[in-house]
A and B are shown apart, each in its own frame.
Chain A
Amino acid sequence: SQQGEEDPQALSIQEGENATMNCSYKTSINNLQWYRQNSGRGLVHLILIRSNEREKHSGRLRVTLDTSKKSSSLLITASRAADTASYFCATDKAAGNKLTFGGGTRVLVKP
């Protein structure tokens, strides 16, 4: 079963705009990760944030984590057409354990 939900399910923006998507989860976690999946392909790891961290940056990506609300957000700044993909959050309860994924947000960046 899915750990949580992602919001929105789909997002359409113009190139250059920012894209924000949210992830909620149900149980306590060790860390939360975000992955990108281009249509019909494997998942690419984007960023990992640990349960004791509140914010993390990587290039144009910014991730926040609020463990009191059991939620995370992913912000992609200055989006590009190549950012068009589905984005998934995933959590684990302990290092090296299975990942539990959300349902994903489908992002379309229009040139």
Chain B
Amino acid sequence: DTGVSQNPRHKITKRGQNVTFRCDPISEHNRLYWYRQTLGQGPEFLTYFQNEAQLEKSRLLSDRFSAERPKGSFSTLEIQRTEQGDSAMYLCASSDSAQETQYFGPGTRLLVL
């Protein structure tokens, strides 16, 4: 299957630890997006890439967050010194810049204790 995949699907960590999530987009898609969703809310935009270039970052993306897409394929989202408020579902999506539909992965659910 060539859908968007995310790993891990679940992550439990202790406050202060670093965590890294991976997203593999649909192979021919050059745009990749990260969103965060807390319980009962809609997803909120974090950042997006076109190929390797990070084109936009939300103000939600504090200095503790960093995202990369080094070869224009998969992307990683790292959270340093996690806080309980970082507990959320982290969603990745990809699209072909010629299209407008974003295709979402299953998400990574993070719980910070």
Q: How many A-B residue pairs have CB under 8 A?
A: 67
Residue among B56, B91, B101 making CB contact with A33, cutoff 8 Å? B101
A81 at interface (Cβ–Cβ under 8 A)?
Answer: no
How far apart are the CA atoms of A99 and B44 in the complex, in Å?
8
Known: A96-B31, A96-B97. A44 touches B45 (CB 8 A): no
Using Cβ atoms and an 8 Å threshold, which residues of chain B touch A90? 42
Given contacts A42-B106, A96-B95, contact A101 B43 (CB under 8 A): yes
Interface residues of B (CB under 8 A from A): 4, 31, 33, 35, 40-45, 48, 50, 56, 58, 89, 91, 93, 95, 97, 100-107, 109
Spell out A's residues near B (CB within 8 Å): 1-2, 30-31, 33, 35, 40-45, 48, 88, 90, 92, 95-104
Closest 9 CB pairs of A and B: A101-B42, A98-B45, A43-B104, A42-B106, A42-B104, A96-B97, A101-B43, A95-B100, A88-B42
